[in-house]
Protein backbone atom coordinates (compact mmCIF):
# COMPACT_ATOMS: atom_id res chain seq x y z
CA UNK A 1 0.00 0.00 0.00
CA UNK A 2 1.11 3.52 -0.74
CA UNK A 3 2.83 5.01 2.30
CA UNK A 4 0.87 8.27 2.33
CA UNK A 5 -2.52 6.63 1.83
CA UNK A 6 -1.62 4.15 4.54
CA UNK A 7 -0.93 7.06 6.93
CA UNK A 8 -4.34 8.59 6.16
CA UNK A 9 -6.08 5.25 6.77
CA UNK A 10 -4.09 4.77 9.95
CA UNK A 11 -5.15 8.13 11.39
CA UNK A 12 -8.77 7.98 10.30
CA UNK A 13 -9.56 4.36 11.14
CA UNK A 14 -6.91 2.11 12.59
CA UNK A 15 -5.51 4.45 15.23
CA UNK A 16 -8.31 7.01 15.36
CA UNK A 17 -7.23 9.38 18.16
CA UNK A 18 -10.72 9.73 19.63
CA UNK A 19 -12.33 6.33 19.20
CA UNK A 20 -9.32 4.00 19.40
CA UNK A 21 -6.45 5.73 21.21
CA UNK A 22 -8.55 7.99 23.48
CA UNK A 23 -6.14 10.91 23.18
CA UNK A 24 -6.87 14.59 23.74
CA UNK A 25 -9.77 14.02 26.10
CA UNK A 26 -9.91 17.60 27.44
CA UNK A 27 -11.04 19.26 24.18
CA UNK A 28 -13.13 16.18 23.35
CA UNK A 29 -15.23 16.73 26.46
CA UNK A 30 -15.15 20.50 26.53
CA UNK A 31 -15.98 21.77 23.05
CA UNK A 32 -18.37 19.14 21.72
CA UNK A 33 -21.51 20.96 22.84
CA UNK A 34 -22.45 21.27 19.17
CA UNK A 35 -21.37 19.68 15.89
CA UNK A 36 -20.03 22.94 14.51
CA UNK A 37 -17.79 23.48 17.55
CA UNK A 38 -16.49 19.93 17.13
CA UNK A 39 -15.56 20.57 13.49
CA UNK A 40 -13.96 23.92 14.34
CA UNK A 41 -11.82 22.48 17.10
CA UNK A 42 -10.93 19.41 15.01
CA UNK A 43 -9.86 21.44 11.99
CA UNK A 44 -7.79 23.92 14.00
CA UNK A 45 -6.04 21.01 15.70
CA UNK A 46 -5.48 19.44 12.27
CA UNK A 47 -3.92 22.65 10.98
CA UNK A 48 -1.51 22.82 13.91
CA UNK A 49 -0.75 19.11 13.67
CA UNK A 50 0.07 19.18 9.94
CA UNK A 51 2.30 22.25 10.23
CA UNK A 52 4.13 21.03 13.33
CA UNK A 53 4.61 17.54 11.89
CA UNK A 54 6.04 19.08 8.73
CA UNK A 55 8.48 21.40 10.51
CA UNK A 56 9.56 18.85 13.10
CA UNK A 57 10.17 16.29 10.37
CA UNK A 58 12.28 18.82 8.46
CA UNK A 59 14.29 19.61 11.58
CA UNK A 60 14.57 16.04 12.81
CA UNK A 61 18.30 15.79 11.99
CA UNK A 62 19.06 19.24 13.43
CA UNK A 63 17.39 18.99 16.85
CA UNK A 64 19.61 17.21 19.40
CA UNK A 65 17.81 14.37 21.17
CA UNK A 66 18.40 15.81 24.64
CA UNK A 67 16.49 19.05 24.01
CA UNK A 68 13.89 17.70 21.60
CA UNK A 69 10.91 18.13 23.95
CA UNK A 70 11.38 21.88 24.58
CA UNK A 71 12.09 22.30 20.86
CA UNK A 72 8.88 20.49 19.90
CA UNK A 73 6.92 22.57 22.40
CA UNK A 74 8.24 25.82 20.92
CA UNK A 75 7.36 24.68 17.38
CA UNK A 76 3.86 23.60 18.40
CA UNK A 77 3.25 26.72 20.51
CA UNK A 78 4.25 28.97 17.60
CA UNK A 79 1.78 27.32 15.24
CA UNK A 80 -0.92 27.40 17.90
CA UNK A 81 -0.37 31.14 18.30
CA UNK A 82 -0.67 31.61 14.53
CA UNK A 83 -3.91 29.59 14.39
CA UNK A 84 -5.18 31.46 17.45
CA UNK A 85 -4.77 34.83 15.76
CA UNK A 86 -6.09 33.66 12.38
CA UNK A 87 -9.25 32.34 14.03
CA UNK A 88 -9.71 35.48 16.12
CA UNK A 89 -9.48 37.49 12.90
CA UNK A 90 -11.52 35.41 10.46
CA UNK A 91 -14.03 33.37 12.48
CA UNK A 92 -14.65 35.48 15.60
CA UNK A 93 -17.91 33.68 16.46
CA UNK A 94 -16.34 30.23 16.53
CA UNK A 95 -13.25 31.62 18.26
CA UNK A 96 -15.43 32.99 21.02
CA UNK A 97 -17.24 29.71 21.62
CA UNK A 98 -14.00 27.67 21.66
CA UNK A 99 -12.33 30.26 23.89
CA UNK A 100 -9.51 29.03 26.09
CA UNK A 101 -9.28 25.67 24.32
CA UNK A 102 -7.57 27.13 21.24
CA UNK A 103 -4.35 28.15 23.05
CA UNK A 104 -4.60 24.90 25.00
CA UNK A 105 -4.03 22.95 21.76
CA UNK A 106 -0.37 23.29 22.81
CA UNK A 107 -0.80 20.71 25.55
CA UNK A 108 -2.98 18.37 23.47
CA UNK A 109 -1.47 14.88 23.77
CA UNK A 110 -2.07 14.10 20.09
CA UNK A 111 0.23 16.80 18.75
CA UNK A 112 3.30 16.20 20.90
CA UNK A 113 2.58 12.49 20.69
CA UNK A 114 2.75 12.44 16.88
CA UNK A 115 5.83 14.67 16.93
CA UNK A 116 7.58 12.31 19.30
CA UNK A 117 6.47 8.99 17.87
CA UNK A 118 6.24 9.71 14.12
CA UNK A 119 7.40 13.06 12.74
CA UNK A 120 10.77 13.03 14.51
CA UNK A 121 11.68 9.71 12.88
CA UNK A 122 10.19 9.90 9.38
CA UNK A 123 10.59 11.94 6.17
CA UNK A 124 8.55 15.06 5.49
CA UNK A 125 5.82 13.80 3.15
CA UNK A 126 4.63 10.82 5.20
CA UNK A 127 4.73 13.06 8.29
CA UNK A 128 2.44 15.59 6.62
CA UNK A 129 0.00 12.83 5.68
CA UNK A 130 0.27 11.40 9.18
CA UNK A 131 -0.77 14.82 10.48
CA UNK A 132 -3.66 15.05 8.02
CA UNK A 133 -4.86 11.53 8.87
CA UNK A 134 -4.63 11.95 12.63
CA UNK A 135 -6.15 15.44 12.48
CA UNK A 136 -9.09 14.33 10.34
CA UNK A 137 -9.58 11.32 12.59
CA UNK A 138 -9.79 13.69 15.54
CA UNK A 139 -12.16 15.97 13.62
CA UNK A 140 -14.46 13.06 12.76
CA UNK A 141 -14.46 11.95 16.40
CA UNK A 142 -15.25 15.40 17.78
CA UNK A 143 -17.94 16.02 15.17
CA UNK A 144 -19.62 12.68 15.85
CA UNK A 145 -19.72 13.35 19.60
CA UNK A 146 -20.89 16.91 18.90
CA UNK A 147 -23.74 15.63 16.70
CA UNK A 148 -24.92 13.19 19.39
CA UNK A 149 -24.83 15.83 22.12
CA UNK A 150 -26.49 18.50 20.01
CA UNK A 151 -29.17 16.09 18.83
CA UNK A 152 -30.07 14.93 22.34
CA UNK A 153 -29.50 18.22 24.10
CA UNK A 154 -31.09 20.66 21.66
CA UNK A 155 -32.86 18.48 19.08
CA UNK A 156 -30.72 20.05 16.35
CA UNK A 157 -27.81 19.09 14.12
CA UNK A 158 -25.57 21.89 12.82
CA UNK A 159 -28.18 24.32 14.16
CA UNK A 160 -30.99 22.82 12.03
CA UNK A 161 -33.97 21.35 13.87
CA UNK A 162 -34.29 17.63 13.07
CA UNK A 163 -36.25 16.23 15.99
CA UNK A 164 -40.08 16.58 15.88
CA UNK A 165 -41.54 19.57 17.71
CA UNK A 166 -42.92 17.30 20.43
CA UNK A 167 -39.35 16.30 21.41
CA UNK A 168 -38.37 17.80 24.74
CA UNK A 169 -34.60 18.51 24.57
CA UNK A 170 -32.53 16.86 27.33
CA UNK A 171 -30.60 20.01 28.17
CA UNK A 172 -28.20 18.08 30.38
CA UNK A 173 -26.46 16.70 27.30
CA UNK A 174 -25.14 20.11 26.28
CA UNK A 175 -24.06 20.83 29.87
CA UNK A 176 -20.91 19.50 31.54
CA UNK A 177 -22.33 16.21 32.92
CA UNK A 178 -23.65 15.20 29.49
CA UNK A 179 -20.12 15.23 28.10
CA UNK A 180 -19.07 12.62 30.64
CA UNK A 181 -22.12 10.43 29.98
CA UNK A 182 -21.73 10.47 26.18
CA UNK A 183 -18.03 9.66 26.43
CA UNK A 184 -18.74 6.90 28.96
CA UNK A 185 -21.16 5.24 26.52
CA UNK A 186 -18.64 5.65 23.72
CA UNK A 187 -15.84 3.96 25.68
CA UNK A 188 -18.21 1.21 26.80
CA UNK A 189 -19.10 0.61 23.15
CA UNK A 190 -15.41 0.52 22.31
CA UNK A 191 -14.79 -2.05 25.08
CA UNK A 192 -17.64 -4.17 23.71
CA UNK A 193 -16.29 -4.05 20.14
CA UNK A 194 -12.80 -4.89 21.39
CA UNK A 195 -14.07 -7.84 23.40
CA UNK A 196 -15.88 -9.15 20.31
CA UNK A 197 -12.80 -8.69 18.14
CA UNK A 198 -10.64 -10.50 20.66
CA UNK A 199 -13.13 -13.34 20.73
CA UNK A 200 -12.71 -13.70 16.99
CA UNK A 201 -8.95 -13.73 17.54
CA UNK A 202 -8.22 -10.43 15.81
CA UNK A 203 -5.50 -8.12 17.03
CA UNK A 204 -6.71 -4.97 18.76
CA UNK A 205 -4.74 -1.69 18.78
CA UNK A 206 -3.60 -0.63 22.23
CA UNK A 207 -5.72 2.09 23.75
CA UNK A 208 -3.75 4.82 25.44
CA UNK A 209 -4.15 8.18 27.13
CA UNK A 210 -3.21 8.54 30.76
CA UNK A 211 -6.17 6.42 31.81
CA UNK A 212 -4.45 3.43 30.29
CA UNK A 213 -0.82 4.15 31.08
CA UNK A 214 1.84 6.18 29.37
CA UNK A 215 2.36 4.25 26.14
CA UNK A 216 1.40 6.93 23.64
CA UNK A 217 1.29 9.93 25.92
CA UNK A 218 3.06 13.05 24.77
CA UNK A 219 4.43 13.88 28.17
CA UNK A 220 6.25 10.56 28.27
CA UNK A 221 9.44 12.22 27.08
CA UNK A 222 9.19 14.79 29.82
CA UNK A 223 7.78 12.73 32.64
CA UNK A 224 9.79 9.63 31.83
CA UNK A 225 6.64 7.54 31.93
CA UNK A 226 6.64 7.03 35.69
CA UNK A 227 3.26 5.38 35.60
CA UNK A 228 4.14 3.03 32.79
CA UNK A 229 5.25 -0.41 33.80
CA UNK A 230 5.42 -2.07 30.44
CA UNK A 231 4.81 0.12 27.47
CA UNK A 232 4.29 -1.38 24.06
CA UNK A 233 5.98 0.81 21.48
CA UNK A 234 3.57 2.19 18.98
CA UNK A 235 5.43 2.02 15.72
CA UNK A 236 6.57 -1.50 16.49
CA UNK A 237 3.03 -2.77 17.03
CA UNK A 238 2.14 -1.05 13.77
CA UNK A 239 4.79 -2.84 11.83
CA UNK A 240 3.79 -6.20 13.25
CA UNK A 241 0.17 -5.65 12.32
CA UNK A 242 1.12 -4.70 8.79
CA UNK A 243 3.22 -7.79 8.37
CA UNK A 244 0.36 -9.98 9.47
CA UNK A 245 -1.98 -8.22 7.09
CA UNK B 1 -11.12 41.08 50.25
CA UNK B 2 -14.68 40.11 49.46
CA UNK B 3 -13.83 40.07 45.78
CA UNK B 4 -10.92 37.69 46.40
CA UNK B 5 -13.20 35.38 48.35
CA UNK B 6 -15.72 35.37 45.51
CA UNK B 7 -12.97 34.55 42.99
CA UNK B 8 -11.72 31.74 45.23
CA UNK B 9 -15.14 30.12 45.75
CA UNK B 10 -15.96 30.57 42.07
CA UNK B 11 -12.75 28.92 40.90
CA UNK B 12 -12.81 26.07 43.41
CA UNK B 13 -16.46 25.01 43.30
CA UNK B 14 -18.71 26.84 40.85
CA UNK B 15 -16.40 26.56 37.85
CA UNK B 16 -14.59 23.46 39.06
CA UNK B 17 -11.56 22.95 36.87
CA UNK B 18 -12.22 19.27 36.16
CA UNK B 19 -15.97 18.90 36.39
CA UNK B 20 -17.10 21.97 34.55
CA UNK B 21 -14.05 23.24 32.62
CA UNK B 22 -12.66 19.84 31.61
CA UNK B 23 -9.03 20.74 32.26
CA UNK B 24 -6.70 18.10 33.64
CA UNK B 25 -8.91 15.17 32.65
CA UNK B 26 -5.93 12.87 32.05
CA UNK B 27 -4.61 12.81 35.66
CA UNK B 28 -8.19 12.89 36.92
CA UNK B 29 -8.91 9.60 35.15
CA UNK B 30 -5.44 8.11 35.37
CA UNK B 31 -4.22 8.78 38.92
CA UNK B 32 -7.47 8.37 40.85
CA UNK B 33 -7.28 4.65 41.62
CA UNK B 34 -6.74 5.14 45.36
CA UNK B 35 -7.08 8.03 47.75
CA UNK B 36 -3.41 8.19 48.74
CA UNK B 37 -1.97 8.63 45.26
CA UNK B 38 -4.85 10.92 44.34
CA UNK B 39 -4.04 13.15 47.31
CA UNK B 40 -0.35 13.12 46.27
CA UNK B 41 -1.23 14.18 42.74
CA UNK B 42 -3.68 16.79 44.03
CA UNK B 43 -1.07 18.19 46.42
CA UNK B 44 1.51 18.42 43.66
CA UNK B 45 -0.97 20.21 41.40
CA UNK B 46 -1.84 22.72 44.14
CA UNK B 47 1.87 23.35 44.71
CA UNK B 48 2.78 23.78 41.03
CA UNK B 49 -0.26 25.82 39.97
CA UNK B 50 0.13 28.26 42.85
CA UNK B 51 3.81 28.86 42.06
CA UNK B 52 3.19 28.90 38.30
CA UNK B 53 0.43 31.48 38.54
CA UNK B 54 2.72 33.71 40.58
CA UNK B 55 5.67 33.36 38.18
CA UNK B 56 3.61 33.74 34.99
CA UNK B 57 1.93 36.72 36.66
CA UNK B 58 5.29 38.37 37.26
CA UNK B 59 6.40 37.70 33.70
CA UNK B 60 3.18 39.03 32.25
CA UNK B 61 3.11 42.12 34.44
CA UNK B 62 6.73 43.15 33.95
CA UNK B 63 7.64 41.88 30.48
CA UNK B 64 4.87 40.64 28.18
CA UNK B 65 2.10 43.03 29.13
CA UNK B 66 4.35 45.92 30.15
CA UNK B 67 3.30 49.02 28.18
CA UNK B 68 6.87 50.34 28.35
CA UNK B 69 8.17 47.41 26.28
CA UNK B 70 6.92 47.80 22.69
CA UNK B 71 3.69 49.26 24.09
CA UNK B 72 2.60 45.92 25.55
CA UNK B 73 2.59 44.32 22.09
CA UNK B 74 4.53 41.30 23.31
CA UNK B 75 1.29 39.73 24.51
CA UNK B 76 1.12 37.54 21.44
CA UNK B 77 3.96 35.52 22.96
CA UNK B 78 1.81 34.58 25.99
CA UNK B 79 1.18 30.96 25.06
CA UNK B 80 4.76 30.20 23.98
CA UNK B 81 6.39 31.87 26.97
CA UNK B 82 3.97 30.46 29.54
CA UNK B 83 4.29 26.83 28.44
CA UNK B 84 8.10 27.04 28.40
CA UNK B 85 8.21 28.79 31.76
CA UNK B 86 5.90 26.17 33.25
CA UNK B 87 7.97 23.29 31.86
CA UNK B 88 11.18 24.81 33.21
CA UNK B 89 9.57 25.75 36.50
CA UNK B 90 8.44 22.20 37.18
CA UNK B 91 12.00 20.96 36.67
CA UNK B 92 13.36 23.61 39.04
CA UNK B 93 10.74 22.92 41.67
CA UNK B 94 11.62 19.25 41.48
CA UNK B 95 15.35 19.89 41.93
CA UNK B 96 14.72 22.41 44.69
CA UNK B 97 12.47 20.07 46.65
CA UNK B 98 14.88 17.17 46.26
CA UNK B 99 17.67 19.26 47.78
CA UNK B 100 15.87 21.31 50.41
CA UNK B 101 12.74 19.47 51.46
CA UNK B 102 13.23 15.72 50.99
CA UNK B 103 10.05 14.70 52.89
CA UNK B 104 7.88 16.85 50.63
CA UNK B 105 9.81 15.59 47.59
CA UNK B 106 9.15 12.00 48.60
CA UNK B 107 5.46 12.74 48.87
CA UNK B 108 5.08 14.69 45.61
CA UNK B 109 8.17 13.70 43.61
CA UNK B 110 6.71 11.15 41.23
CA UNK B 111 3.81 13.38 40.31
CA UNK B 112 5.72 16.59 39.63
CA UNK B 113 7.02 15.81 36.12
CA UNK B 114 3.57 14.56 35.09
CA UNK B 115 2.17 18.01 35.68
CA UNK B 116 4.09 19.83 32.95
CA UNK B 117 1.54 19.03 30.28
CA UNK B 118 -1.43 19.10 32.62
CA UNK B 119 -3.55 21.62 30.76
CA UNK B 120 -4.91 23.05 34.02
CA UNK B 121 -1.58 24.80 34.71
CA UNK B 122 -1.43 26.58 31.36
CA UNK B 123 -5.18 27.07 31.56
CA UNK B 124 -4.94 29.00 34.83
CA UNK B 125 -2.06 31.14 33.57
CA UNK B 126 -4.04 32.10 30.48
CA UNK B 127 -7.33 32.63 32.35
CA UNK B 128 -5.59 35.01 34.74
CA UNK B 129 -4.59 37.14 31.75
CA UNK B 130 -7.95 36.84 29.97
CA UNK B 131 -9.93 37.79 33.06
CA UNK B 132 -7.85 40.94 33.34
CA UNK B 133 -6.63 40.28 36.87
CA UNK B 134 -3.29 41.91 36.04
CA UNK B 135 -4.93 45.13 34.85
CA UNK B 136 -5.12 46.20 38.48
CA UNK B 137 -2.11 47.38 40.49
CA UNK B 138 1.00 45.20 40.74
CA UNK B 139 0.38 43.86 44.23
CA UNK B 140 -3.35 43.25 44.08
CA UNK B 141 -3.13 41.93 40.48
CA UNK B 142 -0.54 39.30 41.38
CA UNK B 143 -2.42 38.42 44.55
CA UNK B 144 -5.67 37.90 42.62
CA UNK B 145 -3.85 35.70 40.12
CA UNK B 146 -2.30 33.57 42.85
CA UNK B 147 -5.61 33.27 44.73
CA UNK B 148 -7.35 32.20 41.52
CA UNK B 149 -4.58 29.67 40.83
CA UNK B 150 -4.63 28.26 44.33
CA UNK B 151 -8.43 27.98 44.39
CA UNK B 152 -8.54 26.32 40.97
CA UNK B 153 -5.97 23.79 42.12
CA UNK B 154 -7.87 23.26 45.37
CA UNK B 155 -10.92 22.45 43.24
CA UNK B 156 -8.83 19.88 41.38
CA UNK B 157 -7.66 18.41 44.70
CA UNK B 158 -11.23 18.08 45.99
CA UNK B 159 -12.46 16.52 42.74
CA UNK B 160 -9.65 13.97 42.37
CA UNK B 161 -9.75 12.89 46.05
CA UNK B 162 -13.54 12.51 45.98
CA UNK B 163 -13.25 10.53 42.75
CA UNK B 164 -10.60 8.24 44.25
CA UNK B 165 -12.78 7.62 47.29
CA UNK B 166 -15.72 6.66 45.10
CA UNK B 167 -13.55 4.48 42.86
CA UNK B 168 -12.34 2.48 45.85
CA UNK B 169 -15.99 1.66 46.58
CA UNK B 170 -16.79 0.89 42.94
CA UNK B 171 -14.14 -1.83 43.00
CA UNK B 172 -16.52 -3.97 45.07
CA UNK B 173 -19.57 -3.29 42.92
CA UNK B 174 -21.02 -5.41 40.19
CA UNK B 175 -20.41 -3.32 37.07
CA UNK B 176 -21.58 -4.48 33.61
CA UNK B 177 -18.70 -6.02 31.65
CA UNK B 178 -18.50 -3.29 28.98
CA UNK B 179 -18.60 -0.50 31.57
CA UNK B 180 -15.64 -1.78 33.59
CA UNK B 181 -12.65 0.55 33.81
CA UNK B 182 -12.82 3.99 32.22
CA UNK B 183 -16.57 4.09 31.33
CA UNK B 184 -17.83 3.68 34.90
CA UNK B 185 -15.33 6.32 36.03
CA UNK B 186 -16.73 8.69 33.42
CA UNK B 187 -20.30 7.99 34.54
CA UNK B 188 -19.22 8.71 38.12
CA UNK B 189 -17.58 11.93 36.97
CA UNK B 190 -20.83 12.89 35.22
CA UNK B 191 -22.81 12.37 38.43
CA UNK B 192 -20.23 14.40 40.34
CA UNK B 193 -20.55 17.14 37.72
CA UNK B 194 -24.31 17.19 38.31
CA UNK B 195 -23.67 17.54 42.03
CA UNK B 196 -21.23 20.38 41.42
CA UNK B 197 -23.87 22.13 39.27
CA UNK B 198 -25.60 22.68 42.61
CA UNK B 199 -22.88 25.18 43.55
CA UNK B 200 -23.80 27.45 40.65
CA UNK B 201 -26.29 29.37 42.78
CA UNK B 202 -23.56 30.35 45.26
CA UNK B 203 -22.31 33.40 43.41
Q: Which residue has the higher pLDDT, B188 or A242?
A: B188
Would you state the pLDDT for residue A196?
A: 87
Would you state the pLDDT for residue A204?
A: 63
Residue A220 has pLDDT above 80, yes or no: no
Residues of B in contact with A220 (CB under 8 A): none
| Cβ–Cβ contact A67 with B under 8 A | no
Residues of A in contact with B194 (CB under 8 A): 172, 177
- Maximal C-alpha separation, chain A: 63
Among A179-183, A226-230, B45-49, the least confident range: A226-230
**Cα separation of B198 and B194, whole Å?**
7
Q: Which residues of chain B have pLDDT under 70?
A: 109, 116-117
A56 with A115: CB under 8 angstroms? yes
- From chain A residues 99-158, the ones with a CB under 8 A of any chain B CB are 100, 103-104, 106-107, 109, 112
**Cα separation of A48 and A40, whole Å?**
13
pLDDT band at A200 (very low <50, low <70, confident <90, very high): confident
Give the mean pLDDT of chain A: 80
* pLDDT tens by residue, A90-116: 999 999 888 888 998 888 888 888 888
Q: CB distance A227–B31 less than 8 Å?
A: yes
Question: Nearest-CA residue of chain A relative to B187?
Answer: A181
Q: Which residue has the higher pLDDT, A198 or B116?
A: A198
Question: Nearest-CA residue of chain B relative to A112?
Answer: B117
Give the domain range for residue B177. Answer: 1-202
A107 with A42: CB under 8 angstroms? no
pLDDT band at A78 (very low <50, low <70, confident <90, very high): very high
* pLDDT tens by residue, B180-195: 888 899 999 999 999 9
Would you state the pLDDT for residue A211?
A: 42
Would you state the pLDDT for residue A206?
A: 56
Would you state the pLDDT for residue A201?
A: 75
**Cα separation of B80 and A103, whole Å?**
9
Q: CB distance B127–A184 less than 8 Å?
A: no
Would you state the pLDDT for residue B165?
A: 94
**Cα separation of B90 and A181, whole Å?**
34
Residue A232 has pLDDT above 70, yes or no: no
* pLDDT tens by residue, A55-75: 999 999 998 888 888 889 899
Alpha-helical runs (H) found in A91-175 = 92-98, 109-114, 124-154
Q: Count of domains in chain B?
A: 1
Q: Per-domain residue ranges for chain A?
A: 1-197
Among A124-133, A230-239, B48-57, B109-118, the least confident range: A230-239
Residue A225 has pLDDT above 70, yes or no: no
| Cβ–Cβ contact A26 with B under 8 A | yes
Exposure string of B76-87, with b = 16+ CB inside 10 Å and e = fewer, is ebbbbbbbebbb
Amino acid sequence: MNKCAERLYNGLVKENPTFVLMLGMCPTLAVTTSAINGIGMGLSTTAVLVMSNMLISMLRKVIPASVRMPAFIVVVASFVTIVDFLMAGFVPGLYKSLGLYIPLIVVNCIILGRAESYASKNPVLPSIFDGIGMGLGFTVGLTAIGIVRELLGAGEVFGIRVMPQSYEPLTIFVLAPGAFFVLACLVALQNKVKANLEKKGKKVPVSSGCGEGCSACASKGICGGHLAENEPHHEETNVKEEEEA
Amino acid sequence: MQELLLIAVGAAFVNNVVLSQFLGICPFLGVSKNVKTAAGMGGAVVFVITIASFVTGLIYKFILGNPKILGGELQYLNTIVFILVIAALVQFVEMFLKKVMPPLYNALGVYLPLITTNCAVLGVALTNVQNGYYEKGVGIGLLTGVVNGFATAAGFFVAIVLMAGIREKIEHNNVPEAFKGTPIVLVTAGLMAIAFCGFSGLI
